[in-house]
């Protein structure tokens, strides 16, 4: 174990915990003594005419010592307690984590294509059906949670080997697979209650998406393109939202919309996958992050251009007003900002760019809404 110290001076007769010392360089002193008591390190302090000499020191679980002044702040951010620990009963917390209730970005990404489609299907000059927006919002919340549960059940052996996922409830043993399956049954039952409120055409269309939902977690074992398969799954609402309003599909509007969502998913989930690429190499799972490598920005730029082009075509075929294209320009800028500024070697930056996609979805929704009202 290495102890990095800047300097010392004359020893005194008492001990102080490391975290009570303040960093300042002074002239080199005699070598200090090091003690450990009750899992806390103590080091001899020195009387000086100046302030005491140590960097603020962080003690890791492995008893390594760092003199980085930012390391403590980083650990505090990583260990920030979520509202689940603060407000939910202890027995419920693992289920809340399993459904990712403290990470709503997945719900947003699943809900936005539904909202786009429902709003596109509204009559010219009219607001979208608020009941349908509410139903699909609840459905996105439930289906996203069910998808996370399925993913954690199928990936429990992989999750234990990946730093970011090893603390998930099933991988860590906080929940058993049997408890996970029971929770999944409740989620799917509630989702069925929402699906049954739609027309018959939409019921069949919605039920058919379950094949994608259940098979998606297996794709990372088969192909380097699991993000494309996720796109097919996550953007099913682009088809379902239109059919829930119109009772059928208009391929001239919904197919470009669906394609735009798939390409959007390829952008944000490739960025997201770069967080785990080193662990993925060790475990042996595949992703577009590994497939694209250093050429990631070129690939996702292409998918971003195709996403915006498809959104423009869908809006044109739906006869949206000119204001839609103003908002689409803003959405293009947000997507370009993500792609051009992301540091694919930085997990935290990849996470920030990924989360920012809720704003891309909101900008597109705002454009469709105002474009429909002005058409």
pLDDT per residue as tens digits for the range 334-364: 999 999 999 999 999 999 999 999 999 999 9
Residue 24 confidence (pLDDT): 43
Q: How far is CA 358 from the centre of its chain?
A: 10
Name beta bridge partners: 117.
none
Residue 284 confidence (pLDDT): 87
pLDDT of 265 over the 70 cut: yes
Residue 112 confidence (pLDDT): 97
pLDDT of 291 over the 60 cut: yes
Q: Model-level pTM?
A: 0.77
For 171, which DSSP code? Answer: H
Rounded to whole angstroms, the Cα distance separating 99 from 91 reads 14
Residue 214 backbone phi and psi in degrees, to 5:
-75, -30
The per-residue pLDDT of the chain, averaged, comes to 82
If one compares 67 and 243, the residue with the highest pLDDT of the two is 243
Q: Which residues contact 80 (CB under 8 A, 6 or more apart)?
A: none
Q: What is the mean pLDDT of residues 16-43?
A: 42
If one compares 321 and 9, the residue with the highest pLDDT of the two is 321
53, 25 contact by CB (below 8 A)? yes
> pLDDT over 70 for what percent of the chain?
79
Q: What is the mean pLDDT of residues 128-146?
A: 95
Rounded to whole angstroms, the Cα distance separating 298 from 306 reads 13
**Phi and psi based region of residue 163 (left: phi greater than 0; alpha: psi -120 to 50; beta: remaining):** alpha
> Residue 117, Cβ neighbours under 10 Å: how many?
31
Tell me how far CA of residue 233 lies from CA of 3, 246, 288, 311, in angstroms: 51, 22, 16, 18
Residue 161 confidence (pLDDT): 81
Residue 66 confidence (pLDDT): 34
């Amino acid at each position: 174990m290495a102890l990095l110290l800047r300097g010392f001076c004359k020893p005194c007769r008492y001990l102080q915990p490391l975290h009570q010392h303040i960093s300042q360089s002074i002239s080199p002193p005699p070598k200090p003594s090091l003690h450990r008591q009750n899992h806390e390190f103590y080091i001899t302090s020195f009387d000086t005419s100046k302030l005491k000499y140590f960097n603020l020191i962080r003690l890791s679980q492995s008893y390594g010592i760092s003199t980085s002044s930012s390391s403590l702040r980083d650990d505090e951010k990583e260990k920030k307690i979520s509202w689940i620990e603060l407000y939910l009963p202890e027995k419920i917390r693992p289920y809340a984590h399993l459904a990712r209730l403290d990470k709503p970005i997945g719900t947003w990404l699943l809900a936005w294509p539904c909202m786009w489609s429902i709003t596109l299907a509204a009559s010219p000059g009219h607001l979208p059906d608020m009941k349908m927006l509410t139903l699909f919002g609840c459905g996105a919340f439930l289906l996203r949670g069910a998808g996370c549960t399925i993913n954690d059940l199928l990936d429990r052996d992989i999750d234990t080997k990946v730093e970011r996922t090893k603390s998930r409830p099933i991988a860590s043993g906080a929940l058993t697979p049997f408890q996970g399956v029971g929770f999944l049954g409740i989620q799917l039952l509630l989702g069925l209650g929402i699906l049954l409120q739609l027309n018959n055409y939409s019921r069949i269309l919605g039920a058919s998406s379950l094949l994608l939902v259940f098979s998606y977690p297996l794709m990372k074992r088969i192909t380097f393109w699991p993000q494309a398969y996720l796109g097919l799954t996550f953007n099913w609402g682009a088809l379902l939202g239109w059919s829930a309003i119109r009772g059928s599909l208009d391929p001239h509007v919904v197919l470009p919309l669906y394609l735009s969502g798939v390409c959007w998913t390829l952008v944000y989930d490739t960025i997201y996958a770069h967080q785990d690429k080193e662990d993925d190499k060790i475990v042996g799972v595949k992703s577009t992050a590994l497939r694209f490598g250093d050429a990631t920005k070129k690939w996702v730029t292409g998918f971003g251009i195709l996403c915006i082009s498809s959104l423009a075509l869908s809006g044109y075929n739906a006869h949206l007003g000119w204001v839609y294209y103003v908002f689409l320009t803003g959405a293009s800028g947000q997507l370009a900002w993500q792609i051009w500024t992301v540091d694919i070697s930085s997990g935290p930056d990849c996470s920030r760019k990924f989360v920012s996609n809720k704003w891309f979805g909101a900008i597109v929704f705002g454009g469709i809404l105002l474009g429909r009202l002005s058409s």
